[in-house]
Amino acid sequence: MPIRLGAVSYLNTRPLVYGLDSHADLFSVRFDVPAQCAALLHANEVDLGLIPSIEYAGDYRIVPEISIASDGPVASVAIFSKVPTEHIRSIALDTSSRTSQALLRVLCARWFEIEPRLISMSPDLPHMLGECDAALVIGDNALFTEHEALGVEKIDLGEEWIGMTGLPFVYAFWAGRQGVVGPEHVAALQHARDNGLGATAAIAQESYPGSAQKAARAVRYLREDVKYALGEREQQGLRRFYDLAAEVGILPEAPALRFY
């Protein structure tokens, strides 16, 4: 029987699922937002989920060598602020990603040294900035917003994380329960990632067929901003994130990394 995959329908995840529809013998795939992927995995309604890293639990196993990460600026996870960072007193939160929220909380506590009020809102940047000093925005809304035209500063959280730690930041990875994934599944997922990275131009054109400018920016984003490895440095960054998340009270403890 094919294993049930819970994937994410974002631009930065498309290289990881590229061509998986040709593996119907191995996978049945459904697409949701990140938080829903994690909820389905927790409820045992999918066997393997592309989950936000903050949703990982120590009794899960991780598919090796694959992640969605950054090793410097990421462009699609950012705070847009009307005031200098040290003067931020309130931040509107895009509720689409718990990992981005957790990263922001860690950076506020350990890097920016501020204690702003955090207020969940729908990802409408003008409305968010009308209510708060700054707004956390992810995905296309962050990637394509022309912040200079709005008169606000864009603070890239991937860049801030590496400034604080010197390590990559891991946003998401494939995870599931022990025993549900075999070597053939791992190999197919790694192969899909490699094929996807070779098809970034096609993915960008499919994602933004009506805008050559957006498609060109999407290609640069997939090739330069997002990283898809889960090597030793990425694992170090992930462990550091879990340690800091536990220190500031986001996690009860830092989970150990366990792999298929």
Q: What is the tens place of the pLDDT at every residue in 241-251?
A: 999 999 999 99
pLDDT-derived band of residue 94, with 50, 70 and 90 as boundaries? confident
pLDDT-derived band of residue 8, with 50, 70 and 90 as boundaries? confident
Check whether 233 has a pLDDT greater than 80.
yes
Residues 214-234, mean pLDDT to the nearest whole number: 98
Provide the domain count of the chain. Answer: 2
Tokens of 149: 């035209």
What CATH number does residue 193 fall under? 3.40.190.10
- What counts of helices (H) and strands (E) characterise the chain? 11, 11
Q: Under a CB-based contact definition with an 8 Å cutoff, are residues 259 and 62 in contact?
A: yes
Residue 255 lies in a domain: no
pTM (predicted TM-score): 0.95
Check whether 133 has a pLDDT greater than 80.
yes
Tokens of 219: 């290609």
Check whether 96 has a pLDDT greater than 80.
no
pLDDT-derived band of residue 34, with 50, 70 and 90 as boundaries? confident
Q: Are residues 223 and 149 in the same domain?
A: no
Question: Which stretch of DSSP H or E encloses residue 201?
Answer: helix 200-207
Domain extent for 87? 77-165
b/e 132-170 (16+ beta carbons within 10 angstroms → b): bbbbbbbbbbbbbbebeeeebbbbbbbbbbbebbebbbb
Residue 61 has phi, psi (to 5 degrees) of -120, 150
Question: What does the pLDDT read at residue 116?
Answer: 98
Q: Are residues 96 and 51 in the same domain?
A: no
Q: Are residues 82 and 157 in the same domain?
A: yes
Q: Are residues 150 and 178 in the same domain?
A: no
